[in-house]
């Protein structure tokens, strides 16, 4: 895995550190608590982060097909 994209729910420094130590680039938006969080989010590679919708769509389709068993 070269990069991992996620939403603000995965904004945790320990996760970012663990990914970085494995050589995985975290594409996780920062929750907006301070002005520098906006700067962090602006530096995200929008082309890579923009691909996150594909995974979200696949998860949604699987969930609709197989229901709560997933």
**Per-domain residue ranges for the chain?**
3-69
Mean pLDDT across 30-37: 80
* pLDDT band with cut points at 50, 70 and 90 for residue 18: very high
Query: What confidence tens digit (pLDDT) does each residue in 46-69 have?
Result: 777 777 778 778 888 888 999 877
Chain centroid, CA 44 distance in Å: 11
What residues contact 11, with CB distance under 8 A and at least 6 apart?
28, 29, 30, 31
């Amino acid at each position: 895995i070269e990069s991992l994209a996620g939403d603000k729910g995965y904004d945790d420094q320990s996760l970012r550190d663990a990914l970085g130590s494995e050589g995985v680039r975290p594409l996780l938006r920062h929750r907006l608590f301070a002005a520098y969080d906006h700067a962090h989010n602006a530096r995200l590679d929008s082309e890579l982060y923009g691909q996150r919708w594909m995974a979200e769509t696949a998860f949604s389709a699987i969930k609709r097909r197989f229901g709560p068993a997933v």
